[in-house]
Amino acid sequence: MNVRELFLDLVSYPSASDESAVCTPSTPGQKVLGARIVSLMKEIGIEDAFLDEKGYVYGSIPATDPREHTIGFIAHMDTYGGVSGENIKPQIIENYDGSSIPLQGGLCLSPEEFPSLGEQVGKTLITTDGTTLLGGDDKAGIAEILVAAEELIQEKKPHGSVKIAFTPDEEIGAGAEYFDVKGFGCDYAYTVDGGGLGELEYENFNAASAVVEISGLSIHTGAAKGKLVNSMSIAMEFCGLLPQAAVPEHTENYEGFIHLDAIHGDVEKTVMQFIIRDHDRALFEQKKNLMKAAADFLNEKHPSKPVTLVLKDTYSNMKEQILPHMEVIETMRQAMHENGVTPVTLPIRGGTDGARLSYMGLPCPNICTGGANAHGKQEYVVVDDMEKIKDIIKTAVYITP
């Protein structure tokens, strides 16, 4: 196998997750993809590969050298559900020349809008056609892990035990929900889940979701004075009470935000779904308290007490769990340097399965996949970088921490 052909095979399997579902995995396509991955794992010699009832895929490569440590690699099978991942039609751009890449629907990939494209001249890119996302988040990670595994088995060099896992429902914050940490049996692991070549991350957002439900009362508009309660108007009031600059489109680096992710409603009922993010725990709690204060204010203002707020913590910043195990970071830095790649440590403006797994006793920072513009129709991956990341994974296996 090579990462390019395997990646193209994987993206042909639709596997978007669904936040509204009450089952695991949240969509049947993830189990279909999982079964395909198990088949591939067995083909390359991972004899114990299996898909469990919750849609998790596990397998292992036995040690060829009696070392004490066991290393793991994890990627997720689902794709973001907010943009279509059906009938993906990848475009392959050989020897990219640095110009704009036209996509359907009037879109394009231009170096002016996406400066990282300027670093890819001469490389092979795989892009969308502009009608769907690509699925590089995280099928690029799956491809890199599987090809690295195949080469490890073929090369027969001395290494410790290697564990591999692929999770469902990461995009909806549930990828670690039923992960068998004990059965996985690793000292440490890495998620291979997004970012440009060289990215090595062990800080992520603290995260929460918020559902705001607002009840109204419909009365004929001709006789509505003093009686009608418009839930949509109160919803706009609620949003107006939140900090207007603390939104994703105005923040970067370590700046947190409150993001209105979905809204639907009419006069009698409006429901808003928010996500709350901050790297700093105190600022994170402050943002949640702002949500509570807005709800309390509107319930005091309106006699019908129309606002119901449900807050739910999703994941925490893994940094405090990784700091006592910095040898995990040093191992990956060494693996990158040995492959001519300069490690770049950045705060993740999002989360990974590794954030929750680190709090479940498995130190699990994140490494790059060679992808960009995830969750959108302008997503692309860099094949040359994917090959390099595959080699970095192999090198990390051979290093004794």
The set of catalytic residues is 78, 170
Tokens describing residue 90: 């990848």
Q: Are strands 380-382 and 371-372 parallel, antiparallel or unpaired?
A: antiparallel
* CA nearest neighbour of 164 among 398, 393, 400, 395: 393
Rounded Cα gap, residues 193 and 370, in angstroms: 9
Q: How far is CA 29 from the centre of its chain?
A: 18
Q: Which two tokens stand for residue 180?
A: 């068998």
- For 364, half-sphere exposure in the C-beta direction (CA atoms, 13 angstrom radius) is 30
Contact indicator for 178, 86 with CB cutoff of 8 Å: no
Tokens of 308: 């119901």
Strands (E), 70-137: 70-76, 91-93, 101-102, 108-109, 125-127
Angle at 274 between CA 273 and CA 276, to 5 degrees: 155
Helix (H) or strand (E) holding 133: none
Residue (of 400, 382, 399, 314) closest to 3 by Cα position: 382
Q: Look-up: residue for tokens 């910095």? A: 326
Nearest of 61, 24, 69, 22 to residue 42 by alpha carbon: 61
Distance CA 281, CA 100 (A): 41
Contact at 8 Å (CB) between 83 and 378? no
DSSP class of residue 154 equals H
The CA radius of gyration of the chain, in Å to the nearest whole number, is 23
The CA-based angle 351-353-359, given to 5 degrees, is 95
- Give the strand pairing for 70-76 and 161-167: parallel
